[in-house]
Amino acid sequence: MSDLMLPTYFLSHGGGPWPFMLDQYGGRYDRLLASLQDIPRQIGTTPRAVLVVTAHWEGPQFLLSSGAQPGMIYDYSGFPAHTYELHYPAPGEPALAARVKALLDGAGQAASLDERRGYDHGTFSVLYPIYPAADVPVVQLSLKHGYDALTHVQAGRALAPLRDEGVLIIGSGLSYHNLRQFGPGGGHASQQFDSWLRETMALAPAERLAQLLRWSEAPAARQAHPYEDHLLPLMVALGAAEQEAAATVYHEDDFFGALAVTSFRFGAPAAPDLPADP
């Protein structure tokens, strides 16, 4: 790893526009907020851009937001009126979108540009706490229909050179995503799957990958992820740092009263990790 190579992240992004509703959540998001706010310290530099692999966008092939000034997508319902007027004004970076497309195309993973795509909540909900000034350019990458885990790992492998080019790669999803059991009813399944996931992250790279490609065989896998859209951004983040160790950068086991949720970093930080909360 060169001195300039950035780590990659898989971030559990929480629900809807939560960073803009903290007063209404009574501390429920304090630990997630703190973990996101710590990322600039971990990487030790301001990246020239961020590539967000968002669980909230998919297509028949990989898609990239390529507009210079992306708008907003309010892809949630039932939230206060002000959350449908939010604006995260970070610029896009068309040149980076074209670079990502070239890397994916060159690896046999066809990609297309979408200059009209705005920021969905999988993107702005994590980036607002990390870069509240919205002064770091952002490009979004979609998932690919079919939800094939290896395809998304391979996409991550293709994107690995970006880490030496000042681009921070973030996979934005959720380590537990069953909206019908998002609370005490999902506690047992989330705990089972999350324990397996954290144990898997601690394995040597080859075994870790083999386990992740068989994720649906894990305890309570389909209870935790009836659809794997919120897990697949992890595959891209891992693929871009496949031989590097994983570290837990956020974990709690009482999210929304009962759920276990976790975020990971792949690759060493520029600054030492802080001690975990007791």
Residue 183 has pLDDT above 80, yes or no: no
8-266 CATH choice from 3.40.50.1980, 3.40.830.10, 3.40.1160.10, 3.50.50.60: 3.40.830.10
> What tokens appear for 113 in the block?
């540009």
Per-residue pLDDT averaged across 193-201, rounded?
A: 98
- In degrees, rounded to 5, the angle at the alpha carbon of residue 39 between the alpha carbons of residues 4 and 124 is 110
Distances (CA, A) of 47 to 41, 136, 162: 12, 7, 11
Per-residue pLDDT averaged across 15-44, rounded?
A: 95
Helix (H) or strand (E) holding 252, with range, is: strand 246-255
Q: Domain segments of the chain: what residues?
A: 8-266
Q: Are 94 and 66 in contact (CB under 8 A)?
A: yes
Q: Are 261 and 190 in contact (CB under 8 A)?
A: yes
pLDDT at 2: 43
Residue 127 has pLDDT above 60, yes or no: yes
Tally of residues, the chain: 278
Dump pLDDT digits (tens) for 141-161: 999 999 999 999 999 999 999
Alpha helices in the chain (DSSP H): 22-25, 30-37, 39-43, 94-106, 121-130, 149-159, 187-201, 205-213, 221-224, 232-239
More reliable by pLDDT, 26 or 138: 138
Dump pLDDT digits (tens) for 68-99: 999 999 999 999 999 999 999 999 999 999 99
Dump pLDDT digits (tens) for 105-124: 999 999 999 999 999 999 99
pLDDT at 62: 98
Dump pLDDT digits (tens) for 208-252: 999 999 999 999 999 999 999 999 999 999 999 999 999 999 999
Query: 130: pLDDT confidence band, cut at 50, 70 and 90?
Result: very high
Q: What is the DSSP letter of 277?
A: P
Residue 201 has pLDDT above 90, yes or no: yes
For CA atoms 6, 150, 32, 266, the dihedral sign is negative
Q: Which amino acid is at 15?
A: G
Mean pLDDT of the chain: 94
What does the alpha-carbon distance between residue 131 and residue 151 come to, in Å, rounded to a whole number?
30
pTM of the model: 0.96
CA dihedral 52→254→24→175, nearest 10 degrees, is 20
